[in-house]
Chain A
Amino acid sequence: MSSITLNRVTKRFDQFTALENLSLDILEGEFVALLGPSGCGKTTTMNMIAGLDEPSEGGIYFDGESLSGIPLQDRNIGFVFQNYAIFTHLSVYKNLAYGLEVRRLPKSEIERRVRAMADRMDLGKDLDRPATSLSVNELQKLAIGRSAVVEPRVFLLDEPLSSLDAGFRAYMRAELKVLQQEFGQTMIYVTHDQIEAMSLADKIAVIDKGRLMQYGSPLAVYDDPANRFVANFVGSPRINLVDGELRDEAGRRSLVLNGGGMIPLSGGVDADFARGAAVHGGSIGIRPQDIYFGDRRADDDIRLTGTVESLERVGPRRLAYIRMQEARFLAVDDRDELSVREEVAFHLVANKCMAFNLKTGERLRANS
C-alpha cells in the first residue's frame, strides 16, 4: 500500500495540453475519484500513474520515491479496465494466477494464494471454469481479484461500472465499497459519473480541461464548490445556474439575467457578491432542493415568479422546470401540487445560494 503524490504534472501532446500543473496528494489507503467530463485528462492522469505514458513536466511519487524511468511491469500496480480485460482463453484459476506465475513463485504458493483470493471473492467454486462463463458481476470480482492477488501498492480503476446497465450499477457500487474497505488499498477511480464518485470516494478530484478544479471530500465538494464548474458538475439533480450582470441601485443589489428577468439579492448571497466589488458578471447557483413553493420561510429568501414548463419524475421525486423569461429553474416539487403551464411563485433559500464570478468561474464568499 502506498501513498501517491503528483507534483505539478503537465502533459502535452504536440500542440494540445492534456494536463496542466496537476498536483494531488493521495494518502495511503484512500479511495480517490478522478471526476470530470470526457477529455478532461483524467484518463491521461491515470495512464501516467500506471506508466503507460510519461509526464512532460513534473513528477509522480509512490511513498516519496519518484516513478520516472520505472517501466510499466515493475511498478506493481493493480489495474481494472473498463471492460475488465479478462484473459478469455484461460480459466478462472489461470486468470487469478497469472500475476503470480510471471513472478515465478513456487506452485504451492501460487495455489495457496489463488484459492484464498477466490474464496474472498466468492469464486471458489468457479476456479476451473473458463473465465468467459462468468456473469458480469463475477467478472468484475475476477478482474479485481486478479490484480489484488499480487498485492499491488496501488489500485487503478478505469470506469469499471460504465459497461453495466443502470439498475445494476447501484448494487455494484455497494460491492465495490465493501471490497475497498476489506482490502484497505489505495485506490484511484476514474469516472465521469458524479454519483459514483460521491458514493464511493473518500476524496474527489474534479478535473476539467487538464486542470484540477477542486480536491476534497464528497460533501465538501458538494456543499462548498470552489468554482462554477464544480458546482455544475457535482450533484444530482444538477444545480441551477443563472448568469447575468450585477447591478447596484441605491444600495440594493440585484442580478440582471441575460435574456431578461431580475433576481434581487439578499442575505448570504448578497454579502458574497458584495465582497467581489470589481465583479460585473455574476452567476447564482442554487440546488433544486433549496427552492420551495408556497409561503416564504425566512426573511432573506428570494421570491420569484415563473411558469411551470414541464414536470419530470426522477426516482422518488417530481422535478419541475420553471421558466422565468429566458431563465430556467429546476426545482423539487415535493408537494406534488404543480401542473404544467401554471404560474407559480417560488423562493430561493438565500443562504444556500452560491455566488460565482461569471468571467473566472471563481466562487465568491463573504467570509473567505
Chain B
Amino acid sequence: MTDIISTRVADVSGDEAMDGKAPLRRGYWSAVARDGRRLGKWFVAPTVILLLFIVVFPLAMQLYLSFTWWTPLDGVRWYRAFESFNAGDNYARLAVDSALWSAIWRTLVIMVFAVPAQFLLGLGLAYLFVDQFPGRKFFYSVLLTPMMIVPAVVGLMFFLVFQGTGPFNHTFGLPASFTWLTDVHRAMLSVIIADTWQWTPLMFLILLSGMLAVPPDQLLAARLLGGSSWQNFRKIILPRMKPVIAIALVLRSVECFKIFDLNFVMTKGGPGVETETVSLYLYKKTFADLDWAYVGAIGLVILFVLSAIAASGLAFASKKAKG
C-alpha cells in the first residue's frame, strides 16, 4: 500500500499540477478507476462479503442441521449437532407430515385465487394509466400506497375491517353474526382479499412499465389499420408483454407462497388451522416445538422448489425478451 500512497503525494505536488492541465494519476487505483470492469468488481466486493455472512453461511448451517436430530433443548452447541446425525430422516418425515401438506394445500389455494386476481386488476389499472389524463400523477401515488404499508399493519387494518361489528358488515348491512375471521370458509377469503389489496399495486407497477415499453408508433400503426382498442391490446400489447407478465407472475407467486404477516395478524392461522399457511406452520414448529432441524429441512426443500419455478419463469422471460 505504501507505494500507492507515495505515488499520490508525488502526483499532486509535481510539475504536472503547474501546467494548467489536470494532473494525471498513475498508481494502482487510477488504473482500476480507468478500467470499468475492475472498478465494478471493487464496488461490488463489500456487498458480496456481506452476502456471504447473511446468506451463504446461514444456508450452510441450515443444511448441516437438517441432517441431524438436533434441537436447542439438547444442551449442546449447534456445531456439535453431528453427534445426532440422522442422514435424511427429517426429509423422510416431511414427506408424510399431513399437517405440512395441508398447510401447503391451503397456501396454494390462497395463491391460486390471490395472484390471478391481483394480476387482472393490475392489468386493468395499468391499461387505464397508459395515456395521460388529468390527475394521473396524483392517482398514481394514491394507487401505490397500499404496497408501501408494512404488511403487519395491513393485517391489523383488515382485522379491524372484517370484524363482525366492523365497518365492512356495517356498510353492507350484514349482522354481527356474519363473521369473517372466525368463519371456516370466509377466513381464507378475507386473507385473499387483504393480500390482493396490498399487492395489486405491485402488479400494476410492473405491468404498466411493460405496457409503456410497447413502441407507441406500432400501436398507432395498428389503430390506423383500423384496429379497435381491444384488438390492439390483444394482438400487440399483450404479446409484447409476455416477458414482463412472466416476471410479474413468478415474482408475486413466490412471494405469495411465503405469506405470513397478513394471516398471522388477522387470524393467527385460525379458525383452527383454516388459514395456516406454510410459513405459519413453520413458525409454530420453530418457536413452539423448537424443532429447528426439521424446520430447516422443510425450508430447504421449499427454497429449492420455489427457486426452480422462479428460474424457469425468468428464463422464459429473458428468452422472450430477446425475440
Binding site for B on A (CB under 8 A): 50, 52, 72-74, 76-79, 81, 83, 85-89, 98-99, 101-103, 130, 146-147, 150
Taking the complex as formed, is B95 at the interface, i.e. its CB lies under 8 A from any CB of chain A?
no
Contact of A83 (CB < 8 Å), options: B217, B222, B225, B323: B217
**CB of B231 within 8 Å of the partner chain:** yes
State in angstroms the CA–CA spacing of A102 and B239 once bound together.
16
| B9 close to chain A: CB less than 8 A | no
Is the pair B239, A89 in contact by a Cβ cutoff of 8 Å?
yes
| A79/B228 contact (C-beta < 8 A), A87-B236, A89-B239, A98-B235 known | no
Q: How far is the CA of A102 from the CA of B224 in the complex (A)?
A: 11
Residue contact A102 to B218, C-beta cutoff 8 Å: no
Please encode chain B, from 145 to 172, with 1 for each CB lying within 8 Å of some chain A CB and 0 for all others.
0000000000000000000000000000
Chain A to chain B contacts (Cβ below 8 Å), 19 pairs: A72-B223, A73-B223, A73-B228, A74-B226, A76-B226, A78-B224, A79-B220, A81-B217, A85-B218, A85-B220, A88-B215, A89-B239, A89-B323, A98-B227, A98-B235, A99-B225, A102-B225, A147-B225, A150-B225
Question: Which residue on chain B has the smallest CB distance to residue A50?
Answer: B224
**Which of B218, B221, B225 counts the most A-chain CB atoms under 10 A from its CB?**
B225
Q: Does B106 contact A (CB under 8 A)?
A: no
B240 interfacial contact with A, CB 8 Å: yes
- A81 to B223, alpha carbons, bound, how many Å? 13
Cross-chain contact of A72 among B224, B236, B239 (Cβ < 8 A): B224
Q: Chain B residues with Cβ under 8 A from A88's Cβ?
A: 215, 218
Interface centre among B221, B223, B224, B235 (most CB of A within 10 A): B224
The one of A83, A87, A150 that contacts B226, using a Cβ cutoff of 8 Å: A150
B90 to chain A, nearest CB (A): 48
In addition to A81-B220, A87-B218, A102-B222, 17 A-B residue pairs with Cβ atoms within 8 Å of each other are A50-B224, A73-B223, A73-B224, A79-B220, A79-B224, A85-B215, A86-B218, A87-B222, A87-B236, A88-B218, A98-B235, A99-B225, A101-B235, A102-B228, A103-B226, A150-B225, A150-B226
A-B contact count (CB 8 A): 60
Query: Smallest distance from the beta carbon of B282 to chain A beta carbons, Å?
Result: 43
CA A239 to CA B226, docked complex, whole Å? 44
Contact partners of B239 in chain A: CB under 8 A = 89
Is B217 within 8 A of A85, CB to CB?
yes
Cα distance A354–B155 in the bound complex, in angstroms: 84
Q: How far is the CA of A9 from the CA of B323 in the complex (A)?
A: 44
Contacts of B235 in A (CB 8 A): 98, 101-102
Q: Verify B217–A98 contact, CB threshold 8 A.
A: no
Complex Cα distance, B224 from A74, in Å, reads 8
Contact indicator B221/A102 (Cβ below 8 Å): no
B 217-254 binary contact with A (CB < 8 Å = 1; else 0): 11011111111100100011001100000000000000
Chain A residues contacting B215 (CB-CB under 8 Å) are 85, 88
Q: Mark B32-62, 1 if CB is under 8 A from A, else 0.
A: 0000000000000000000000000000000
The 9 closest A-B pairs by CB, nearest first: A99-B225, A85-B221, A85-B217, A102-B227, A79-B224, A102-B231, A73-B226, A85-B218, A102-B226
Residues of the B chain whose Cβ atoms lie less than 8 Å from the Cβ of A85 = 215, 217-218, 220-221
Residues of B with C-beta under 8 A to A81: 217, 220-221
Q: Which residue of B lies closest to A146 (CB)?
A: B225
User: Which residues of chain A are within 8 angstroms of B218 by Cβ–Cβ distance?
Assistant: 85-88
Report the separation of the CA atoms of residues A201 and B204 in the bound assembly, to the nearest whole angstrom. 49
State the CA gap A76–B225 with chains docked (Å): 7
CA distance A150 to B225 in the complex (A): 8
Q: How far, in angstroms, from A109 to B227 measured CA to CA in the complex? A: 18
Query: In the assembly, what is the distance between CA of A87 and CA of B224, in Å?
Result: 13
Tell me, rounded to whole Å, the shortest Cβ–Cβ distance linking A92 to chain B. Answer: 15
Query: Using Cβ atoms and an 8 Å threshold, which residues of chain B touch A98?
Result: 222, 225, 227, 235
CB neighbours of B225 from chain A (8 A): 73, 98-99, 102, 146-147, 150
| Separation of A130 and B322 alpha carbons in the complex (Å) | 13
Smallest Cβ-Cβ distance to A103: which chain B residue = B226
Neighbouring B residues of A86 by C-beta, 8 Å: 218
Chain B hits for A130, CB < 8 A? 323
Q: How far is the CA of A213 from the CA of B205 in the complex (A)?
A: 49
User: A150 to B228, alpha carbons, bound, how many Å?
Assistant: 15
What is the chain A residue whose CB lies nearest that of B220?
A85
Chain B nearest CB: distance from A178 CB in Å? Answer: 23
Q: In residues 185-220 of chain B, which contact A (Cβ within 8 Å)? A: 215, 217-218, 220
Report the Cα distance A103→B222, complex, angstroms: 12
